[in-house]
Chains A and B, each alone.
Chain A
Amino acid sequence: MPIAIAVAIDTVSYVEHQYVAEIPIPYARSYSVALSLGTERASTYLCYLNATVDGESLSYVAVVLADIARPCMGRDLARALGTNWVTVELGSKAVDVKGICKQSWLNPFIALPLRAASGIEKQCTPIELYRTQSSVLEVSQHLSQDIASALLLVRNSALVAYIAISIPAAMGVLHRISTVIETLRVVGTSRSLILLSLVIGVEILTLLSVLLGAALGTVASHVALTVASSIALEVPCRPLVLSNLGTYALYAFLTMLGAIAIVFRVSRA
């Protein structure tokens, strides 16, 4: 059982790492630009205007009115639309937007100089764009957490079964060593001392079985996942033993508590 738990833990970590590794974000992008709508002191405005792209009329095109020299189009928007020439309807006049914006924060938008807006900004929403420290890996981490929590369900259900079945296991062990217990009682060993020895024995055995199982499981799953990832010719699997040590310790502790409770329950009977 501890082997199965170890394999499950490693699989969770493996999937997490694979997801994060597959999203090609340069590490330099450790911040993002957040957008705050309706800010009173803003000098930037967001307008939804009509535009024409390659002869096709589009409504609700997000246009940013900002303190820039000339109309321009965000790099990512230009790539997505396949053009860098758009005509924007600004009130009664049409503004031709050619060229790519230099500012990276304008990447998803069309941008017009604020001075060219001629009062139209009153119909727009003031916005504030600011740097935020939120990690770009946040989304992939959220997603892998969702998947990890589903896999945790598998692992926890295995653990519940493990603890539940410990009852007949503990009964069986006590039954097998009943002669030893009886002998100890005959030679005058106190009941509490026998109980203490049983608890210590169960603790050591549980700890050993969990740690040994975890070690074996980690090695087994690591080998299997390395082979699988090398077959897929993609991101190699990295050793996950250390990252999972805390989880193993927690499970060992929980299993130990369960085993001690069982020993006390059975000894009363």
Chain B
Amino acid sequence: MRGSSKMDVNEKRLLRNNPLFVITIACLLALLMSAISFYLYYNSETRRTVELIQQNNQQLNLDEVSDKLPEKLSKEYLDQVEKDVINEVTSHSTDFEFNPEDLSNSSLGL
């Protein structure tokens, strides 16, 4: 009984000292970590954002919009774009357009 446990310990020591075994384990660990990293990246918001930016850049054709571009970039132009965007988005009101009260039993006459 004692003899067989001594043999086990010896076998384990042999495995630990075997460089091929250590390298294989390290490679497997590296592979596993790469797979996990890839999986996390693939399912992340970052990947979707990067892909969308790439897609936008591919679709952006400077020739198509060249007639809309001012000759010179100016602070006034930046202010105007910001103002236009704010005007556009504030033209909608969440509270007014989607009022939960509209769907209440009393409002529906139930």
Q: Do A and B belong to a common assembly?
A: no
- State the A residues within 8 Å of B (CB): none
* B interface, CB within 8 angstroms of A: none
